Chains A and B, each alone.
Chain A
Amino acid sequence: MENLNPIKKVNIICSKGSIEDVYAALIMGNGAVMEGIETNIFFTFFGLDAIVKKRMDKLHTAVVGNPALRLPGGLRMPTLLGIIPGMESFTSWMMKGQMDKLDVPPVSEFLDLIVAGGGKVYACKMTVDMFKMTMEDFSEHVNGIITVGEFYEHAAGEGSHIIFT
């Protein structure tokens, strides 16, 4: 389909660190790379966990305060069950298993794919300072630690879009 105003660039801000939040950013980002769209992903606040080497493949999903969470079979999961030790790990393990079946890779492998296609990955300077981190903590795919101003510079251009997750 010919479109006179195609999306030329997407700039995704990933601000949360749960499985579903990080994957929303990665799937949108990888999807853009696959379409030949220039892609920047900016990780900030708890979203930063997705590019921290030691944490990226150990993300969890919230089982307390997550009213959309359902048990296998479709029954709503009572929040009180979420406080049972191991429930969060088990639920997260289940989610990762389901995604693997759909060929959705672990976070580290997902970043490999995005970067292989030319996508760029950045860490938010303010968060890095706040959490007292350095480039050493991050995946080798991280292109740099940048400020908000620099993010907007990267995002500039006609047909460029910013997505916040």
Chain B
Amino acid sequence: MSQKTYAGVTVDVNEEGYFTNPSQWTKEIAVEIAKEVGIVLTDKHFAIMEFLRNRYNSGDALSIRSINHSGVIDVKTFYQLFPGAPLKKATKIAGIPKPASCV
């Protein structure tokens, strides 16, 4: 367990940089984490992150398939918004733990 400071707020993160306490997250913090991985956040980014946070809070597993069924964006757009490893990047920026799902 370690701590990091984003937008003047100190938050708890694990060794990979994922939040261990999602309630510490704010949109301002998200903008700063996104900058670290070279992403400039738009409304679309925030919309899908809200979906991910809600899904995490209700205890549902986060999968790539769930993005397609989210009604927010399709998977292709998701890959474009968070290039590289989208689910890992999106959850990191959204302040929730790394998904434990294989799909």
Contacts and interface: CB of A to CB of B under 8 A. Distances in A.
A67 interface: no
A113 B76 CA distance: 8
A7 interface: no
B3 interface: no
Given A113-B65, A117-B79, A27 B102 contact: yes
Contact of B64 (A1, A36, A102, A113): A113
Contacts of B65: 103-105, 109, 113
A70 B76 CA distance: 38
B74 A116 contact: yes
A116 B76 contact: yes
B61 A103 contact: yes
Interface string A93-133: 00000000011110001001100111000000000000000
Contacts of A118: 79
22 contacts: A1-B16, A27-B103, A30-B64, A31-B103, A34-B64, A34-B85, A34-B87, A35-B88, A36-B86, A102-B101, A103-B61, A103-B65, A103-B101, A104-B103, A112-B68, A113-B64, A113-B65, A116-B79, A117-B64, A117-B76, A117-B86, A118-B79
